[in-house]
């Protein structure tokens, strides 16, 4: 190698680098040429020509392009399926059979299905019929029947239409479990991939069992056991060859060949199945002829008088319970419920009669009711006039303003703050801002007790209680006793402007009936598998109901609610033979009328109104709902021994009334209505009402020694800076509460800082 041309270090570096690169490239290229020459020399000894060369080239190209096609097909047709989790039940519907407490079936919800029959218990004739028509080579292929698919393609091409299916039984299982029924090439490819996946994880017997249990067979039935029960009135264990053929014929087109739709089509299809069984050697000619002479007979199902409203609600409760208890692995279940079928049927008939006979005159078209025990066991639910015409459940889903039926929660809050039923309060005009509610009668009683105010459903008294104790205390009291719905926070809420369902409102009253123990509505007693295994029992899972309100306070409230029945707006609901309490309710413009009442055994709520919120013709809670409640409770209480309620003891008066209660026409009941909207002017009282109020106000100057008034120190106060509390004038917090309240009434009707003249005293209203 010659010497470098320069002694400069930089030039010498680049010169050396260039020589290394040039040498490396030359040597690499020379090595490639030598390697190629050697490889060519090696292959020369295998050189072929002629037809063999053409064949090798074809195989080589087919392998190359086939590999590329396979990867493209996989990317296109790979189903959206992870293969993880409980894949065999993903998207599966529940099949729920409901019974009453004695085990008698009352109806079903979800799908009809029963997968409790073992494969060994299914008659061979049933299995052979299915295999003959759906996949005769099921036990011979690996999930995709190449021979069967090719034969189907040929037959369909000859007929120029689809006369034979090409899907194997495994592919149909894949479609039933994981895919939609759309007819596309992509779905067929998905079937093929999934069938291979299934065959790799399940045995042939397990695949066959899935197919027999999960396939739709018409009439809402899934699986051969449910279909046999529905069409033939017996278990699949007991069916004969003719019935097996008819069931097997349903797999192809369940709606078209369902025997309850067209028995002739079903028998014609069964004959096709029999001849197919003969062709593949599963039956003899004699068996075929005998089956044709004795075709399967469809057994019409008896129409159950199902409590549809009750079951709709119970079905939702069942699904929620299965989720909460993590029992989601069972999809075919039997649920024992709390329903009382005698009461359910009677309540539906009673309300239908009320709507039919009184609805046209009073302009209402719907009614609903709920009956439960004080613990919350729901015994009957009537959601409307006719389930067939409308499945909307007005007892559990319709939220309506409750009107005066909400007042007991206001009085309960007052009792918890220290008031007593015999405390005296003024029933007189009252305003909160621009809102001035009036009484239903446009009259005022003056000084009255809380007991009388609730019995007569005075509107001014709950407002005064709200001003004193604050709305947060009322909302808390309502939620504490079981009210789940949201409650409004504006002043008219004390008169029932919050919208609640009948079920929700009745639940609150159930806590009253239970002596302050929290009631939670429920319908489920037990859940079992079809084979009888118990998977849920309420007694073993539920905790005792907590005491959410002191029993002595509930006793005070119940004594007031008893007065509503005996001397107030709910006299038409008086049973006479048992201690009871309740409250009527009527909302704005007579759009809804309620009555909720209870005994020691049952709590029932009744509502009447219209779906479109149109007003009724002056229907109050005491006019229509209360008498309907009494009819329902007469049935519910039949055979029950009357018992005392907290605050309403059972004494001899009930026995005397029950023994000699005459059939009389009650005098008109002074009822309640209208939680009046804000800015409603004060109701104009008649002169007699004014005189009563004035006389009572003058008597306030005298010390009332008979009034059972709780000391001010006993009352719990809401924080003065709370936005939900109306602060009374300071004079009203002194010891002389009566005189201060009179002064307050006078001051509200004079200009600020001006002394009112005596001659205008009688113009305060």
pLDDT one-digit tens code per residue, 713-733: 334 433 333 333 333 333 333
pLDDT at residue 579, as a whole number = 96
Catalytic residue among 134, 191, 225, 417: 134
**pTM, to two decimals:** 0.74
Structure tokens belonging to residue 578: 């048992």
Which of 515-529, 636-650, 741-755 is predicted least confidently? 741-755
Name the more confident of 368 and 541: 368
Which of 119-133, 171-185, 333-347 is predicted least confidently? 171-185
Which of 32-46, 159-173, 379-393, 668-682 is predicted least confidently? 668-682
Compute the distance between CA of residue 574 and CA of residue 290 in angstroms, rounded to an integer: 69
Q: Which H or E run contains 413?
A: helix 407-416
Structure tokens belonging to residue 140: 């011979």
Block residue for tokens 């059939």: 663
* Cβ atoms of residues 126 and 235 within 8 Å: no
- 3-class DSSP state of 703: coil
Percent of the chain with pLDDT over 90: 58
Comparing C-alpha atoms, which of 484, 308, 315 is closest to residue 394? 308
Task: Decide if pLDDT at 455 tops 90.
Answer: yes
- Average pLDDT, stretch 632-643? 95
Structure tokens belonging to residue 573: 């609901």
Q: Across the chain, what does the average pLDDT equal?
A: 83
> Cβ neighbours of residue 17 under 8 Å, at least 6 residues apart?
none
pLDDT bucket at 203, cuts 50 / 70 / 90: very high
Phi/psi class of residue 308: alpha, beta or left (left: φ > 0; alpha: ψ in -120 to 50)? alpha
How many degrees, rounded to 5, is the angle at CA 243 between CA 242 and CA 244? 90
- Average pLDDT, stretch 374-384? 97
Comparing C-alpha atoms, which of 453, 316, 468, 307 is closest to residue 397? 316
Q: How far apart are the first and last CA of the chain?
A: 129
pLDDT at residue 38, as a whole number = 84
Structure tokens belonging to residue 729: 């004038």
Other beta carbons within 10 angstroms of residue 102's beta carbon come to 7
Compute the distance between CA of residue 133 and CA of residue 149 in angstroms, rounded to an integer: 14
Structure tokens belonging to residue 734: 């002194």
Comparing C-alpha atoms, which of 41, 37, 17 is closest to residue 29? 37
List pLDDT tens digits, range 210-256.
999 999 999 889 999 999 999 999 999 999 999 999 999 999 999 99
Task: Decide if pLDDT at 504 tops 80.
Answer: yes
Helix then strand then coil, in percent of the chain rounded to 5, is 45, 10, 40
* Cβ atoms of residues 686 and 442 within 8 Å: yes
Residue 90 burial (C-beta neighbours within 10 Å; 0-12, 13-18, 19+) = exposed
Other beta carbons within 10 angstroms of residue 396's beta carbon come to 21
List the helix and strand counts (H, then E) for the chain.
25, 16
Q: Which of 304-308, 511-515, 662-666, 721-725 has the highest mean pLDDT?
A: 511-515
Task: Decide if pLDDT at 164 tops 90.
Answer: no
Structure tokens belonging to residue 379: 């015994």
Cα distances from 502 to residues 310, 485, 602, in angstroms, run 14, 11, 15
Compute the distance between CA of residue 365 and CA of residue 384 in angstroms, rounded to an integer: 9
pLDDT at residue 90, as a whole number = 78
pLDDT at residue 14, as a whole number = 81
Block residue for tokens 């205008």: 760
Cα distances from 327 to residues 467, 525, 532, 693, in angstroms, run 49, 15, 16, 64
Task: Decide if pLDDT at 178 tops 80.
Answer: yes
pLDDT bucket at 147, cuts 50 / 70 / 90: confident
List pLDDT tens digits, range 8-21.
778 778 888 888 88
Name the more confident of 605 and 54: 605
Block residue for tokens 């400069």: 8
Structure tokens belonging to residue 144: 């995709």
Name the more confident of 755 and 317: 317
DSSP 568: S
pLDDT bucket at 6, cuts 50 / 70 / 90: low
Q: Which of 133-137, 681-685, 750-754 has the highest mean pLDDT?
A: 133-137
Compute the distance between CA of residue 593 and CA of residue 608 in angstroms, rounded to an integer: 5
Task: Decide if pLDDT at 762 tops 60.
Answer: no
- 3-class DSSP state of 379: strand
pLDDT at residue 656, as a whole number = 59
What does residue 296 show for φ and ψ, rounded to 5 degrees? -65, 145
**Angle of helix 285-293 relative to helix 263-279, nearest 10 degrees?**
170
**Integer-rounded Cα radius of gyration of the chain:** 41
pLDDT bucket at 115, cuts 50 / 70 / 90: confident
Task: Decide if pLDDT at 413 tops 50.
Answer: yes
* Cβ atoms of residues 198 and 143 within 8 Å: yes
Compute the distance between CA of residue 224 and CA of residue 218 in angstroms, rounded to an integer: 11
pLDDT at residue 78, as a whole number = 66
pLDDT at residue 191, as a whole number = 83
pLDDT at residue 303, as a whole number = 62
- Average pLDDT, stretch 491-509? 96
Task: Decide if pLDDT at 453 tops 90.
Answer: yes
Q: Which H or E run contains 675?
A: none
- Helix/strand/coil (H/E/C) assignment for every residue in 390-406: CCCCCCCCCCEECHHHH
Residue 559 annotated to the active site: no
Comparing C-alpha atoms, which of 511, 433, 441 is closest to residue 466? 433
Task: Decide if pLDDT at 342 tops 90.
Answer: yes
* Cβ atoms of residues 545 and 517 within 8 Å: yes
pLDDT at residue 463, as a whole number = 96
Compute the distance between CA of residue 25 and CA of residue 687 in angstroms, rounded to an integer: 122
Q: Which of 111-125, 171-185, 546-560, 733-747 has the highest mean pLDDT?
A: 546-560
Task: Decide if pLDDT at 668 tops 90.
Answer: no
- Largest Cα span, the chain: 142
Residue 457 annotated to the active site: no
pLDDT at residue 671, as a whole number = 55
Catalytic residue among 404, 457, 460, 498: 404
Spell out a b/e string for 21-50, using b for 16 or more CB atoms within 10 Å of the CB, else e: eeeeeeeeeeeeeeeeeeeeeeeeeeeeee
């Amino acid at each position: 190698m010659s010497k470098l041309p320069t002694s400069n270090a930089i030039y010498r570096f680049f010169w050396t680098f260039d020589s290394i690169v040039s040498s490396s490239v030359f040597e690499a290229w020379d090595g490639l040429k030598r390697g190629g020459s050697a490889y060519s020399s090696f292959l020369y000894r295998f050189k072929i020509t002629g037809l063999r060369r053409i064949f090798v080239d074809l195989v080589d190209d087919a392998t190359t392009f086939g590999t590329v096609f396979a990867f493209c097909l996989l990317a296109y047709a790979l189903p959206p399926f992870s293969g993880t989790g409980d894949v065999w039940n993903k998207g599966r519907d529940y099949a729920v059979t409901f019974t009453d407490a004695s085990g008698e079936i009352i109806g079903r919800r979800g799908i009809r299905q029963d997968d409790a029959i073992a494969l060994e218990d299914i008659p061979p004739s049933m299995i052979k019929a299915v295999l003959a028509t759906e996949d005769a080579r099921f036990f011979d292929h690996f999930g995709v029947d190449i021979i069967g698919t090719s034969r189907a393609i040929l037959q369909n091409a000859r007929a120029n239409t689809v006369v034979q299916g090409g899907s194997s039984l495994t592919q149909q299982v894949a479609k039933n479990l994981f895919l939609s029924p759309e007819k596309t090439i992509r779905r067929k490819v998905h079937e093929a991939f999934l069938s291979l996946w299934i065959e790799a994880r399940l045995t042939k017997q397990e695949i066959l069992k899935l197919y027999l249990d999960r396939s739709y067979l018409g009439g809402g039935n899934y699986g051969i056991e449910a279909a046999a029960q529905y069409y033939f009135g017996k278990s699949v264990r007991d069916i004969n060859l003719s019935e097996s053929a008819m069931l097997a014929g349903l797999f192809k087109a369940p709606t078209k060949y369902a025997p309850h739709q067209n028995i002739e089509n079903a028998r014609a299809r069964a004959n096709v199945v029999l001849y197919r069984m003969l062709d593949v050697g599963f039956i003899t000619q004699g068996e075929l002829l005998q089956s044709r002479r004795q075709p399967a007979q469809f057994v019409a199902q008896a129409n159950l008088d199902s409590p549809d409203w009750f079951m709709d609600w119970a079905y939702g409760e069942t699904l929620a319970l299965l989720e909460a208890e993590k029992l989601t692995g069972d999809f075919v279940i039997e649920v024992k419920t709390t329903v009382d079928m005698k009461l359910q049927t009677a309540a539906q008939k009673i309300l239908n009669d009320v709507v039919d006979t009184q609805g046209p005159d009073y302009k209402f078209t719907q009614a609903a009711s709920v009956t439960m025990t004080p613990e919350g066991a729901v015994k009957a639910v009537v959601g409307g006039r006719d389930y067939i015409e409308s499945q909307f459940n007005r007892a559990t889903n319709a939220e309506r303003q409750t009107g005066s039926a909400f007042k007991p929660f206001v009085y309960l809050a007052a009792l918890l703050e220290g008031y007593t039923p015999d405390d005296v309060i003024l029933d007189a005009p009252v305003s909160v801002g621009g809102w001035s509610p009036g009484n239903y009668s446009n009259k005022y009683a003056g000084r009255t007790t809380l007991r009388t105010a609730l019995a007569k459903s005075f509107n001014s008294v709950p407002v005064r209680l709200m001003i004193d104790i604050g709305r947060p205390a009322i909302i808390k009291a309502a939620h504490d006793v079981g009210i789940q719905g949201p409650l409004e926070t504006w002043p008219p809420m004390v008169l029932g402007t919050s919208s609640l369902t009948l079920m929700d409102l009745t639940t609150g009253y159930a806590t009253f009936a239970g002596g302050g123990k929290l009631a939670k509505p429920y319908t489920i007693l037990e859940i079992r598998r079809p084979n009888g295994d118990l998977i849920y029992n309420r007694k073993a899972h539920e905790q005792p109901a907590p005491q959410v309100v002191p029993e002595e306070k509930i006793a005070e409230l119940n004594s007031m609610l008893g007065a509503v029945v005996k001397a107030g707006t709910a006299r038409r609901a008086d049973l006479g033979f048992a201690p009871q309490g309740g409250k009527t309710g009527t909302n704005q413009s007579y759009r809804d009328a309620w009555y909720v009442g209870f005994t020691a055994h049952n709590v029932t709520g009744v509502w009447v109104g219209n779906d479109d919120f149109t007003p009724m013709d002056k229907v109050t809670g005491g006019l229509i709902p209360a008498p309907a409640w009494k009819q329902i409770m007469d049935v519910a209480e039949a055979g029950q021994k009357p018992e005392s309620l907290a605050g309403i003891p059972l004494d001899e008066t009930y026995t005397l009334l029950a023994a000699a209660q005459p059939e009389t026409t009650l005098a008109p009941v002074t009822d309640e209505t209208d939680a009046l909207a804000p800015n409603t002017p004060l109701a104009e009282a008649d002169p007699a009402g004014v005189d009563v109020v004035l006389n009572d106000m003058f008597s306030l100057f005298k010390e009332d020694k008979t009034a059972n008034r709780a000391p001010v120190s006993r009352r719990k106060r809401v924080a003065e800076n709370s936005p939900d509390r109306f602060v009374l004038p300071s004079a009203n917090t002194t010891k002389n509460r009566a005189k201060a309240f009179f002064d307050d009434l006078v001051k509200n009707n004079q200009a600020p800082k001006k002394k009112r003249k005596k001659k205008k005293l009688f113009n305060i209203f």
